[in-house]
Amino acid sequence: MHRACADRAASPRDSRTGLPATLRAGVAPPLHTLSPALRGAMIFPGMISRRLVVKRLASGLGMGWLGYEGVGEFVLGRKERELAMGFHNDAPSQPDAFSRPAAYGEPAGRLVRCTLCPHACTLGEGDRGLCRVRAVKGGRLLTLGYGNLCSMAMDPIEKKPLYHFLPRTPILSVAMGGCNLRCLNCQNWEISQARPEDVKRLEALPERLVQVALQRGAPSIAFTYTEPLVTFEYVRDASQEARRKGVRTVLVTAGFVQEKPLRELCRSIDAVTLDVKAFRDSFYREVSSARLAPVLRTLEVLREEGVWIEVSFLMVPTLSDEPSEVGAFAAWVAEKLGPETPLHILRFHPAHRLTHLPPTPLHALQGARQAATGAGLRHVYVGNAPGSDGGRTRCAGCGRALVEREGFRVVADELRDGACPACGRKLSGVFS
């Protein structure tokens, strides 16, 4: 038997997920233990072929003989960049009306390295980054889909989820195609895994977007549904314009970004819901094609910059449904972000490539809530689970019930100017 086949056969697998059992134990399985289909879906989604990798290595060596400085990019960093080589020759043939020069790109020999997110894609002429949003044309890094919205809707702000930020207000929610993660359970994969030019063109440059929010009476705008950080330039310009006009802005994000652009965005963003996928790097690598450490760093930076943060944690059955893992993450949040940071534990519903998994059992959600509360967090919610009391906010001082929610609807609100009517303690958050 071929050695890779023998290894694959020997690797124990979870009977329900088909993923290597080591994943659950917190050990990243070697790539060759994954089936070719799964490996392709997670690691090289429609990306560069093995033939092209060989071609690039050969050309890198060739350039080295010519004294070309980019050779190190091809040879020394190859393993590190396997996740981030992007889509070869996939840039639009001509920049369109939605293309703009991108920030956070730097020369890497004759290539261009994007420094917006930790993938650090190194792209040649005509290549497109892993997120599908950034591409090199004419030697310049471009951002695609600037102002080309694929989704626009009015939502209750509780849906983001945000429970401590302008509660009971509507929020104008918008998205553009693209994402730098490859979550197997993505709910919005039709738009997150699409090229910006392939999804609906609803043109809204920053000024127009803010106008729409004002016309519809929305005090805030959410960049959501896909990954807003990869459309950095649009989000930055729109949030600056919104701030000038007195409209708040919110990011719903996975937080996989480099520190410098994040700090720049923090100057004009008011709140963030950060969707933490798991508290294990192996989960990030194998289920989301990303890494945990940069996401935790994002949370620390947001805290340092004074942006309001709420954190969500989706419990995926058999993959990230251990209450102890949620408890360990909650302890980290309590220590690094503060015990009054809201944590939303979310119920998984089958989606995308994990449709064979069941919804998260309610007892696991309740166990995780207890673990998170036991770890010191004062506001722990359970979402997507009708019938539970997971939407209740209590006063962190006297314990009085302050806000009751059913789904995304607030059904009782005892808050007085953001404070408890019984003991007067202010509830953490932004209420005006």
* 29: nearest Cα among 40, 21, 17, 38: 21
Residue 85 is a binding residue for ligand SF4 (CB under 6 A): no
175 phi and psi angles, rounded to 5 deg: -145, 155
Residue 120 is a binding residue for ligand SF4 (CB under 6 A): yes
Residues whose CB falls within 8 Å of the CB of residue 328, separated by 6 or more in sequence, listed in order = 279, 375
The alpha carbon of residue 393 and the mean position of all alpha carbons in its chain are separated, in whole angstroms, by 26
Residue with Cβ nearer ligand SF4 (180 or 384): 180
Alpha-carbon distance values, 360 to 21, 130, 133, 354 (Å): 19, 30, 33, 12
Q: How many chain residues bind ligand SF4 (CB under 6 A)? A: 14
- Which residue among 119, 160, 236, 379 contacts ligand SF4 (CB under 6 A)? 119
* 110: nearest Cα among 85, 140, 80, 144: 140
- Enter the tokens of residue 160: 């983001």
> Cis ω on the peptide bond leading into residue 12 (within 30° of 0)?
no
* 131: nearest Cα among 43, 52, 192, 199: 192
- Which residue among 42, 157, 230, 415 contacts ligand SF4 (CB under 6 A)? 230
Residue 116 is a binding residue for ligand SF4 (CB under 6 A): yes
Residue 121 is a binding residue for ligand SF4 (CB under 6 A): yes
Residue with Cβ nearer ligand SF4 (227 or 321): 227
- Residue 343's identity, in one-letter code, is L
- The answer to whether residues 279 and 173 touch, using CB atoms and an 8 Å cutoff, is no
Residue with Cβ nearer ligand SF4 (56 or 347): 56
Residue with Cβ nearer ligand SF4 (118 or 156): 118
Residue with Cβ nearer ligand SF4 (33 or 289): 289
Residue with Cβ nearer ligand SF4 (119 or 285): 119
Taking the complex as a whole, the smallest distance from the CB of residue 56 to ligand SF4 amounts, in Å, to 16
- Which residue among 108, 117, 194, 311 contacts ligand SF4 (CB under 6 A)? 117
> Which residue has the closest beta carbon to ligand SF4?
129
Residue 108 is a binding residue for ligand SF4 (CB under 6 A): no
**CA geometry: angle at 243 spanning 239 and 245, to 5°?**
120
Site for ligand SF4 in 159-188 (CB under 6 A): 180
Taking the complex as a whole, the smallest distance from the CB of residue 187 to ligand SF4 amounts, in Å, to 20
Taking the complex as a whole, the smallest distance from the CB of residue 141 to ligand SF4 amounts, in Å, to 8
Taking the complex as a whole, the smallest distance from the CB of residue 149 to ligand SF4 amounts, in Å, to 19
Burial label for 64, CB within 10 Å (0-12, 13-18, 19+), is middle
Taking the complex as a whole, the smallest distance from the CB of residue 143 to ligand SF4 amounts, in Å, to 9
Long-range contacts of 240-243 (CB under 8 A, 24+ apart): 240/206, 240/268, 241/206, 241/207, 241/209, 241/210, 242/206, 242/209, 242/210, 242/213, 242/268, 243/268
- The answer to whether residues 425 and 395 touch, using CB atoms and an 8 Å cutoff, is yes
Binding mask 130-159 for ligand SF4 (x = CB under 6 A): xx-xx-------------------------
* 294: nearest Cα among 283, 307, 284, 286: 284
Site for ligand SF4 in 314-353 (CB under 6 A): none
Helix axes 292-305, 259-266, angle to 10 degrees: 30
Taking the complex as a whole, the smallest distance from the CB of residue 72 to ligand SF4 amounts, in Å, to 18
What is the C-alpha separation between 432 and 429, in angstroms, rounded?
10
Residue with Cβ nearer ligand SF4 (114 or 269): 114
Residue 129 is a binding residue for ligand SF4 (CB under 6 A): yes
Taking the complex as a whole, the smallest distance from the CB of residue 180 to ligand SF4 amounts, in Å, to 4
What is the C-alpha separation between 242 and 227, in angstroms, rounded?
19
Taking the complex as a whole, the smallest distance from the CB of residue 195 to ligand SF4 amounts, in Å, to 12
Residue with Cβ nearer ligand SF4 (257 or 346): 257
- Which residue among 42, 114, 181, 269 contacts ligand SF4 (CB under 6 A)? 114
Residue with Cβ nearer ligand SF4 (143 or 249): 143
Q: Footprint of ligand SF4 on this chain (CB under 6 A)? A: 84, 114, 116-117, 119-121, 129-131, 133-134, 180, 230
